[in-house]
Structure 1
Amino acid sequence: MNNEQLIMNANEVVAFLQKSPKEFTKADIMYFIRENDIEMVNLMYPGGDGKLKTLNFVITDLAYLDTILTCGERVDGSSLFSFIQAGSSDLYVLPRFSTAFVDPFAEIPTLCLLCSYFDKDGNPLESSPEHTLRKASEAFTKVTGMEFQAMGELEYYVISEDEEVFPAIDQRGYHESAPYAKTNSFRQMCMKYIAKTGGQIKYGHSEVGNFKQDGLVYEQNEIEFLPVRVEDAADQLMVAKWVIRNLAYEYGYDVTFAPKITTGKAGSGLHIHMRIVKDGKNQMLSKGVLSEKARKMIAGMMELAPSITAFGNKNPMSYFRLVPHQEAPTNVCWGDRNRSVLVRVPLGWAADVDMCKAANPNEPKTDYDTSIKQTVEMRSPDGSADLYQLLAGLCVACRHGFEMKDALKVAEKTYVNVNIHDKANAKKLAQLAQLPDSCEASADCLKKQRKVFEEYGVFSPAMIDGIIAQLKAYKDKTLRKDIEKKPKEIQKQVETYFHCG
């Protein structure tokens, strides 16, 4: 972090210590707690259901605080993860000092720290979410010599009581301003709190989806993050969902990240943007066009896309969003600025034009390096995803692209330059692979491609077995076809998975 980032940082711990979180030590944390009258410490960690778990400690003396920060605590792994048996379930959770933030909701001054899991022998738990992602990131760097960075577009619906004033137009909520969008101030407060926890936010806005149902208003929102190291991206998304839900509870709203909550209305995705960086420079562009390295990344995602759904689309309602001929993708292809494809290359400020001066004639000419902004975007995941598994899976896929001998040919074969659903593309469409249409089908794809995810010890065999078993248990192979014209049955499924992830 540079001085500007430290001075304006919203995280109270960073602002107080004037240090980058990566430099935090145990002494720093103890100093902050002592000097800021912190009375409690929360250890937080993701469970197998994709939600944050919390262990509370009241701070009574410095010796006990030192014990908590040094030794962590025991937890019951069998209550957190389905792959751990009750007979040998004890795990350790150890705080990572770099994740420290002041709880914005606690009445008692409280410091929160995210944790890593360790097994009985004191080794990182092979199948834990955070360690799996770290292994994926390290393997990517080992193979490519570059850092893998990511960020998410977190979409969600806010549900509130109906208001008759300034009614919104159904399914026309994209970037709408108040008073037609009713929950903008709620989203802005969410952004403020997420920033306080250390989240690096790009922007927030209202999304397309809005509708009324049973006396309630459903408004879709999005908070998009900035690209950071992939491990940090997962932590930030995990904490952001926790913040949004807690703040919704305080406001008296309900919130859902579910992929689909009613037919005929926009579903919510969790699009993931990625870039690769070496020596601080983005490697996604070369002479103003998408680089060979970026196309290799895309090729890996094209190859492994069917099995990535096993990490990013984790319940049956995911496949009511991923249906043919809609904006959510089903065809394994990629393209520029094209929302009908699986992997999109968004506008990246690649044109050598000083738009700032064009918009502001009084400004001097600038030589700002806009190439750092270029990313590629995976559009299939949704809010049911296990964030750590998903980002690890994408990291593996992009690494795999560098190891494929025919990567550039695969990229060329799967590229489309216009809407894939146009009649002119019928022949091309017939040649493309399709995403799975159910959790069971997704499990089958993962089973076929599991070897790639297990390479370099990234995904443990036990973890892959557990994911396959979890997906198979839904028994939804024909569910979409069976109930697609039965609104009551669909609503029953919506209610079952309303608070997923």
Structure 2
Amino acid sequence: MKDYLRKHPEVRTIRVAAADLNGQARGKRVPARFADKVVKDGTRFPFSVLNLDIWGEDIDDSPLVFEQGDQDGVLKPTERGFMPMPWLEAPTALLPIWMFRENGQPYEGDPRHALRAVIDRYKARGLTPVVAIELEFFLIDDSGKTLQVPPSPRSGKRRKAAETLSIRALDAFDTFFTDLYDACEAMDIPADTTTSETGLGQFEVNLMHCDDALRAADDAWLFKMLVKGLARRHGFAASFMAKPYPEYSGSGLHTHFSVVDESGDNVFDSGGPKGTATLRSAVAGCLNAMHDSALIFAPHQNSYERLVPGKHAPTSICWGYENRTAAIRIPAGNPAARRIEHRVAGGDVNPYLMLAAILGAALDGITQGMEPPSAIVGNAYAEEDLPQIPSTWAEAIEAFEKSTILPRILPPEIIRNLVQTKRQELHYIAELSPEEQVELYLDTV
């Protein structure tokens, strides 16, 4: 890690940052000449900082604050090490960190540790999840009272229409996307294909599959930070909020995953299109936990504007082969690459909690040998007897808190802290107008 700063003497300051429960980067600015101390000893800030609400406020009834004296945790660098922050004007390096207790034990309220614990359970069975993430986001001109698509830097015109798979839309913002790919390369984020989507000024970038789920979550977290920061350098906003425009589809964050054994073989591959019994058990586990996990996949008030029938986001708890109306899709293609696509999460999620919930649920299904219901055929929105994903934030909080499934997947401290956080946000969001809610979520999530 120290070699990075020696090779980049132009870097005068560093940022050390961890992800809180909402996926917000929390940390410090440090002069580069003191970086060696941070690398060696870590840094410190209160446990409660990873449990702030979306405004960055303490949780009123959290035991982490006054009840425990607002004690410090110790934050140590992750294995990722230093990387540039290309969205800032001054040369700056980012050092991702995660939280431990004074005795060296991982802090269970850290979402990155929650994912690590799930991965460890896979490793104990000789299994490794392989993950790829697709992120959708909007480019937005938020300089006026009404949100609108930014004018093209090339033509100066605004294209006020959906541009599904439009090369013209990509070309209109070619300067931004060229800088974005250069930045991804500099940060070692494996950005692959970009497409324009069905929303106004909406795009999707796919991140390449990775056999390290922690790194995949890091990539998604860093990518969101990068896109939002770089867009501001280009004079507009980028947002991963679930639904900035009521009349257009929202932004999802779809996760593709397979599982390989110690020989490197895909345990979902049956040699044919249907997949193995292990695949079906993983699907069953995901479906079994889906209702109770909705708070992770749709963590904000605005999230539930996206989860409406017929708007390219799933609302029914079901699965299918090559069926994008289902919550779980099994893509076609080479049997060796047989995988599950989990389509529920919005772009506004915390990637660490999202992957912990998905992979943890899949492993729960595998270990218990669960069997899913029949795969859906046709339009899932038209099926009236399917179980439903919670349609309101309050319902999702209630389901998450009372779940008997999630304690097998997530640490008790994550469950408690997230419930307290979301109950506080639910209370205060009610005081905001729809316009104020959009202003809140536009830059944060």
TM-score range, shorter chain: 0.7 to 0.9
Distance 1:349 1:287, change over 3 A: closer
Within 5 A, what are the aligned runs for 1:153-172?
153-160=134-141, 161-162=150-151, 168=159, 170-171=161-162
**Aligned-residue offset at 1:166:** 6.9
What is the letter of the counterpart of residue 284 of structure 2?
A
**Aligned-residue offset at 1:379:** 1.1
What is the letter of the counterpart of residue 85 of structure 1?
V
Distance 1:469 1:107, change over 3 A: closer
Q: Distance in 2 between the 1:338 and 1:35 partners?
A: 49
What is the letter of the counterpart of residue 334 of structure 2?
W
What is the letter of the counterpart of residue 442 of structure 2?
F
Q: Distance in 1 between the 2:407 and 2:220 partners?
A: 25
Q: Give the one of 454, 460, 464 matched to 2:407.
A: 454
Q: Distance in 2 between the 1:498 and 1:39 partners?
A: 30
Distance 1:398 1:436, change over 3 A: same
Distance 1:185 1:493, change over 3 A: same
**Aligned-residue offset at 1:146:** 0.8
What TM-score, normalized by structure 2, do the two folds share? 0.86
Which residue of structure 2 lines up, in the alignment, with residue 85 of structure 1? 65
**Aligned-residue offset at 1:107:** 4.9
Contact 2:309 2:381 in 1 (8 A): no
Pairing 1:242–2:225 present: yes
Which residue of structure 2 lines up, in the alignment, with residue 437 of structure 1? 391
Which residue of structure 2 lines up, in the alignment, with residue 136 of structure 1? 118
Distance 1:185 1:344, change over 3 A: farther
**Aligned-residue offset at 1:71:** 0.4
Within 5 A, what are the aligned runs for 1:95-494?
95-142=77-124, 144-160=125-141, 161-162=150-151, 168=159, 170-171=161-162, 173-178=163-168, 182-210=172-200, 219-228=201-210, 229-278=212-261, 279-289=263-273, 290-350=275-335, 371-372=336-337, 374-405=338-369, 407-408=370-371, 411=372, 413-422=373-382, 426=383, 429-430=384-385, 432-449=386-403, 451-455=404-408, 459-475=410-426, 490-494=434-438
What is the letter of the counterpart of residue 287 of structure 1?
G
What TM-score, normalized by structure 1, do the two folds share? 0.77
Contact 2:77 2:97 in 1 (8 A): yes
Which residue of structure 2 lines up, in the alignment, with residue 497 of structure 1? 441
Which residue of structure 2 lines up, in the alignment, with residue 12 of structure 1? none
Q: Distance in 1 between the 2:400 and 2:22 partners?
A: 19
**Aligned-residue offset at 1:169:** 6.8
What is the letter of the counterpart of residue 233 of structure 1?
A
Pairing 1:30–2:2 present: yes
Distance 1:398 1:101, change over 3 A: same
Contact 1:191 1:204 in 2 (8 A): no
Identify which range, 237-246 or 461-470, moves more after superposition.
Answer: 461-470
Contact 1:140 1:395 in 2 (8 A): no
Contact 1:92 1:118 in 2 (8 A): yes
Q: Distance in 1 between the 2:412 and 2:278 partners?
A: 29
Q: Distance in 2 between the 1:296 and 1:32 partners?
A: 44
What is the letter of the counterpart of residue 454 of structure 1?
P
Distance 1:293 1:100, change over 3 A: farther
Distance 1:292 1:99, change over 3 A: farther
Contact 2:46 2:70 in 1 (8 A): no
Contact 1:166 1:180 in 2 (8 A): no
Q: Distance in 2 between the 1:65 and 1:386 partners?
A: 27
Contact 2:257 2:339 in 1 (8 A): yes
Q: Distance in 1 between the 2:303 and 2:78 partners?
A: 33
Q: Distance in 2 between the 1:155 and 1:288 partners?
A: 31
Distance 1:443 1:175, change over 3 A: same
Q: Distance in 2 between the 1:30 and 1:489 partners?
A: 48
Contact 1:124 1:131 in 2 (8 A): yes
Q: Distance in 1 between the 2:198 and 2:102 partners?
A: 48
**Aligned-residue offset at 1:259:** 0.7
Q: Distance in 2 between the 1:463 and 1:234 partners?
A: 17
User: Secondary structure at 1:499's aligned position in 2?
Assistant: helix
Say which one has the larger Rg. Answer: 1
Contact 1:194 1:239 in 2 (8 A): no
Q: Give the one of 42, 46, 50 matched to 2:15.
A: 42
Task: Give the gaps of 5 or more residues in structure 1.
Answer: 1-28, 211-218, 351-370, 480-487
What is the letter of the counterpart of residue 208 of structure 1?
T
Distance 1:79 1:467, change over 3 A: closer
For residues 35-93 of structure 1, the C-alpha deviation after alignment (integer angstroms, 9 at most, x for no partner) is: 44244433221123312234232233xxx544221101112333442452151331211
